[in-house]
């Protein structure tokens, strides 16, 4: 299919295009110079008075795998309240609001104009399940991050100081699982948790079995990540998540890797809202956003995503089992827990965020505060840690909140006054421009993930992933017209995926399947290290070494990024 998108207000920050009226050409699934498209043969889209931008990139969303499936089972009512019906020849059916089924997750992203997503935490032993679900998610390209912080084979090598074996084992794990990046969750805590301990472990506490600290885990992963030239930095869920006073632990974690590289990024701190708390109890909880933002503004080696919450029911799920077990005792609702042998421990707890609750008000403020106080939009990304903070379908609402102080003030009228006094959001004047919104939802996540050569922009050669919205920047005041901003981003006029129109006027018109992007190394894992790992598998695991490996043919439309 050839497309010619004419006369739209184009926003393409990776190419420095800020609302210029121009044409975009599409041919053979790629962006081309408009002169290469024959207007007599192509489908012409008149985008006059509309906004044209790259497809959205969500770098942190839990949409697939064993924990997500468990969340679906825990909330059956969720699947009665929200669904999409089968339309023959167009799309399949799907259900669920907070943990949507695989098909529905893809359709909902596409309806909003998002075209690439990253599943950010999959234990190696469970990753075949994750890929089976990702194979089923239409409309978007996918990446999967491998959960490795408590992997006992890797910790064995670290405890011995054997970084050579550690590096080659890490390569093997990433290639065997067809994953893209390294994920660390509450580093090392799954080890003591198997003995009923580990809640609140700080960066320099000892992991007894291995004689290591979380700091040593984070720093060594960061060093080897850089040595392997992985496209994305280590993706870190800091220790003491969700605990009052954890802001100091987060700052120590950021600082721990400050010397890994002479310049450039060395760590991505995820869902920063959950790790930005001051105070020593829930009764005196305060926002630590200013401290976090001040450090980020002064140091160039860190990127963040927000982990923004919204009010109402969410489903928290993470490989931080001690936190989830503690949250269960606060929520007193439901709890599911699982331990993956030699790799991680996870928990799932549904939770209700309440407007009049002081703590929940502070949490709601922090995510927005960090995004508004950090000066560089290229290093702070909009996320809800779906479904932990809110469903990803709330992105249009948060875009409007970032662009409108008036909208923030309207919501704050309904929140806990004590919570607002413990936050700085009421005093924050900044409002995002549309250009900055495109950075934080498209260009920056693509760049941070290392896929910006072909994602997150509309330059010649990029994948033809395009979103068109009913917004006219010459006629609108985004600060005052926040309702229209929210509505426009909720239903794209057009979503184009790989050069094909998949959404029109906010409705799915065609189902397509995107690629799964994984890493492969020029250097091969040392056969002697692999042999040693095989022996450890026989000692540690109930699954065989050969069954652990996911074959290329098990992945729908696999695409490799070669490292090294």
| pLDDT for residue 196 | 85
Instruction: Give 220-245 pLDDT, tens digit per residue.
Output: 999 999 999 999 999 999 999 999 99
197 pLDDT exceeds 90? no
Per-residue pLDDT, averaged over 468-486, amounts to: 98
| pLDDT for residue 116 | 98
Percent of the chain clearing pLDDT 90 (strictly above): 95
195 pLDDT exceeds 90? no
| pLDDT for residue 463 | 98
Buried b (16+ CB within 10 A) or exposed e, 144-153: bbbbbbbbbb
| pLDDT for residue 198 | 87
Q: How many helices (H) and strands (E) does the chain have?
A: 20, 26
Distance CA 324, CA 71 (A): 13
CA angle 321–391–189, rounded 5-degree value: 15
Instruction: Give 56-92 pLDDT, tens digit per residue.
Output: 999 999 999 999 999 999 999 889 889 899 999 999 9
466 pLDDT exceeds 90? yes
Per-residue pLDDT, averaged over 486-513, amounts to: 98
| Residue 276: count of CB within 10 angstroms of its CB | 29
pLDDT-derived band of residue 43, with 50, 70 and 90 as boundaries? very high
94 pLDDT exceeds 90? yes
pLDDT-derived band of residue 359, with 50, 70 and 90 as boundaries? very high
Strand 51-54 versus strand 466-469 pairing type: antiparallel
Pick the closest to residue 363 from 310, 432, 293 (CA basis): 310
pLDDT-derived band of residue 19, with 50, 70 and 90 as boundaries? very high
pLDDT-derived band of residue 420, with 50, 70 and 90 as boundaries? very high
Q: Where do we find the tokens 């160039």? A: 300
DSSP per residue, 345-410? EEEEEEEEE-TT-HHHHHHHHHHHHHHHHSS-GGGEE---TTTTSS-GGGHHHHHHHHH-HHHHHH
Residue 179 and residue 231 in contact, taking contact as beta carbons nearer than 8 Å: no
| pLDDT for residue 296 | 98
Distance CA 105, CA 358 (A): 32
pLDDT-derived band of residue 416, with 50, 70 and 90 as boundaries? very high
| pLDDT for residue 41 | 92
Catalogue all structural domains in the chain, each as residue range(s) with its CATH number. 2-54+455-508 (2.30.40.10), 516-563 (no CATH)
| pLDDT for residue 332 | 87
Provide φ and ψ at 12, rounded to 5°.
-145, 80
| pLDDT for residue 262 | 84
143 pLDDT exceeds 90? yes
Average pLDDT of the chain, as a whole number: 97
Instruction: Give 269-294 pLDDT, tens digit per residue.
Output: 999 999 999 999 999 999 999 999 99
Please state whether the predicted TM-score (pTM) of the whole model is above 0.95.
yes
Burial class (CB in 10 A: 0-12, 13-18, 19+), 177: buried
Per-residue pLDDT, averaged over 141-162, amounts to: 98
Instruction: Give 519-543 pLDDT, tens digit per residue.
Output: 999 999 999 999 999 999 999 999 9
Residue 135 and residue 143 in contact, taking contact as beta carbons nearer than 8 Å: no
| pLDDT for residue 80 | 87
The CB-side HSE value for 150 (13 A sphere, CA atoms) comes to 31
């Amino acid at each position: 299919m050839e497309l010619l998108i004419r006369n739209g207000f184009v926003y393409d920050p990776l190419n420095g295009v800020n609302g210029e009226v121009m044409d975009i050409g599409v041919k053979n699934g790629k962006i081309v110079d408009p002169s290469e498209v024959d207007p007599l043969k192509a489908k012409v889209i008149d985008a006059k008075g509309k906004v044209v931008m790259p497809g959205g990139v969500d770098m942190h969303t839990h949409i697939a795998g064993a924990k997500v499936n468990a969340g679906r089972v825990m909330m059956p009512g969720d699947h009665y309240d929200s669904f999409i019906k089968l339309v023959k020849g167009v799309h399949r059916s799907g259900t669920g609001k907070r943990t949507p089924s695989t098909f529905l997750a893809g359709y909902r992203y596409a309806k909003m104009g998002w075209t690439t997503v990253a599943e950010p935490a999959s234990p190696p032993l469970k990753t075949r399940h994750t890929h089976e679900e990702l194979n089923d998610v239409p409309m978007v390209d996918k990446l999967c991050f491998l959960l490795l912080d408590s992997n006992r084979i890797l910790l064995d090598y670290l405890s011995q100081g054997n970084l050579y074996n550690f590096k080659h084992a890490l390569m093997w794990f990433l290639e065997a699982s067809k994953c893209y990046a390294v994920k660390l969750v509450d580093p090392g805590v799954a080890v003591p948790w198997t003995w009923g301990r580990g809640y609140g472990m700080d960066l320099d506490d000892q992991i007894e079995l291995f004689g290591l600290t979380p700091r040593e885990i984070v720093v060594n992963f960061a060093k080897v990540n850089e040595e392997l030239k992985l496209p994305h930095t280590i993706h870190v869920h800091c220790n003491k998540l969700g605990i009052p006073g954890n802001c100091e632990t987060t700052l120590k974690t950021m600082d721990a890797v400050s010397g890994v590289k002479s310049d450039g990024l060395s760590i991505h701190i995820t869902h920063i809202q959950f790790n930005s708390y001051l105070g020593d109890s829930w009764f005196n909880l305060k926002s630590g956003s200013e401290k976090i933002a001040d450090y980020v503004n002064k140091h160039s080696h860190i990127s963040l995503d927000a982990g923004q919450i919204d009010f109402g029911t969410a489903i928290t799920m993470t490989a931080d089992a001690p936190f989830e077990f503690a949250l269960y005792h606060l929520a007193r609702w439901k709890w599911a827990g699982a331990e993956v042998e030699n790799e991680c421990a996870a928990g799932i707890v549904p939770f209700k965020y309440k407007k009049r609750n002081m703590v929940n008000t502070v949490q709601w403020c922090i995510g927005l505060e960090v995004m508004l106080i950090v000066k560089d939009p290229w290093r702070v990304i909009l996320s809800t840690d779906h479904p932990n903070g809110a469903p990803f379908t709330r992105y249009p609402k948060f875009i409007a909140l970032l662009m409108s102080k008036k909208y923030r003030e309207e919501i704050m009228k309904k929140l806990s006054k004590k919570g607002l006094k413990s936050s700085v959001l009421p005093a924050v004047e900044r409002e995002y421009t549309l250009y900055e919104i495109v950075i934080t939802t498209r260009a920056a996540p693509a760049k941070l993930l290392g896929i910006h050569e072909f994602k997150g922009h509309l330059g010649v050669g990029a994948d033809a992933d395009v979103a068109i919205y009913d917004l006219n920047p010459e006629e609108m005041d985004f600060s005052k017209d926040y309702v229209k901003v929210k509505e426009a981003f909720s239903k794209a006029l057009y979503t184009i995926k790989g050069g094909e129109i998949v959404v029109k006027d906010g409705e799915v018109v065609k189902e397509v399947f995107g690629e799964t992007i994984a890493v492969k190394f020029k250097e091969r894992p040392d056969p002697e290290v692999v042999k040693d790992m095989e022996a450890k598998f026989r000692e540690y695991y109930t699954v065989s070494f050969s069954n652990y490996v996911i074959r290329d043919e098990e992945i729908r439309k696999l695409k490799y990024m070669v490292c090294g």
